[in-house]
Amino acid sequence: MRARALLSQILVVAVAVAATAVVIQVQPTAESAPAPVIAAAQPNSEAQTLTIQGVNFGDAVSEVTLGLSPLAVSSWTSNAVVTELPAYQPGSYLLVLKRADGIFSNSMDLTIGAVGPVGPAGPQGPVARATDTLMGFGGGEGLGSGLGAGDARDEATTRAIEDANNTAYGINALRSLAPTPGTPDGTGNAAFGKAALRDLTTGYGNLSFGSGSMQLSTTALNNVAIGNAALRMATGNENVAVGSNALRDNLGSRNLAFGFFGGNNNKTGSNNIYFSNLGVDGESGVIRLGASGVHNTVYVSGTIHGDGSGLTGVTAVYQ
């Protein structure tokens, strides 16, 4: 019901004539360049540099993040960027580039440090019960740690979440879960993909689908994240993020975001709705449709209710 009520507020232009077609024309802005694309990245531990290759980076120096930490830029061209590379623990980190006009690139998993040999197969995991699904793979991951067939995490964690109505599929999915007996804490979660809900301890009712989705969340409740790194840092509740990196860095609650990096510029706000829009940091109770320079016209059939107060930059054309 809450979602339906929020969606009914998306457009608030008063239209007196029923059953007519309305075209809401927004003043066009300059077209945005195609989104930047990272094609390859080569870390050099000796020189302590990272070279990123791709297209559409633009000529103006902007931002690069690795594992959510900004990197100092040494050089920047439209198809190659070189940054400093501080010491990282061996592992896999998410690499993202942001162009000067605010458009984000695709994200890439970058492995830092030598990849260890494949570890020996771990012991057989416990038999999954009707209330708990545990799926994993034999062999090693990165640093040579073995994972037993039937166990998506280590054996001790697996025992702790039996009968907790959780589902985990993927390496390190729901790795840290610690349910509290007799409470809903740590129950009713579903994680699909590498490191999905990796750090969750007592959160419950979350659905996380995609590599790194809700990865750093620990106590979040009743969220839905679909897409790689969606809601990656979530601490709030009742958010819905659909799309790669949608609401990735947001810490608020009851936000709804659709599209690549949807709402990701808003780190702290709550009660927002974003469709293919990055949002603005700190705002709450705002609805944003489309991206500047990309979406310039909205077509709506029928009657739109509302008094239109506070609406700016919109011209209604009745047809």
CATH number, domain at 169?
2.150.10
Residues 273, 153 within the same domain: yes
Containing structural domain, residue 7: 2-28+296-318
Q: Are residues 148 and 232 in the same domain?
A: yes
Question: Are 135 and 171 found together in one domain?
Answer: yes
* Whether residue 207 is found in the same domain as residue 191: yes
pTM of the model: 0.57
Q: Tell me the average pLDDT across 232-238.
A: 93
Range 102-123 average pLDDT = 75
Same domain, 65 and 189: no
- Domain final residue, candidates 112, 146, 168: 112
pLDDT at site 311: 64
Boundary of a domain, candidates 112, 131, 149:
112
Asked whether residue 59 falls in the same domain as residue 151, the answer is: no
**Residue 148 vs residue 309, higher pLDDT:** 309
Domain edge (last residue) among 65, 94, 112:
112
Domains contained in the chain, number: 3
Same domain, 65 and 182: no
Do residues 58 and 98 share a domain? yes
Q: Write the pLDDT tens digit of every residue in 156-212.
A: 343 334 446 888 888 888 888 777 777 788 888 999 998 899 999 989 999 999 999
* Sequential DSSP letters for 196-252: TTTT-SS--S-EEESTTTTTT-SS-BS-EEESTTTTTT--SBS-EEESTTTTTT---
pLDDT at 257 over 80: yes
Phi-psi region of 276 (alpha: psi -120 to 50; beta: other; left: phi over 0): left
Pick from 284, 230, 233: which is nearest to 262 by CA?
230
171 and 277 part of one domain: yes
* CATH number, position 66: 2.60.40.10
Q: Both 232 and 301 in a single domain?
A: no
Q: Are residues 303 and 277 in the same domain?
A: no
Indicate if 60 and 205 belong to the same structural domain.
no
Indicate the average pLDDT of the chain.
Answer: 76
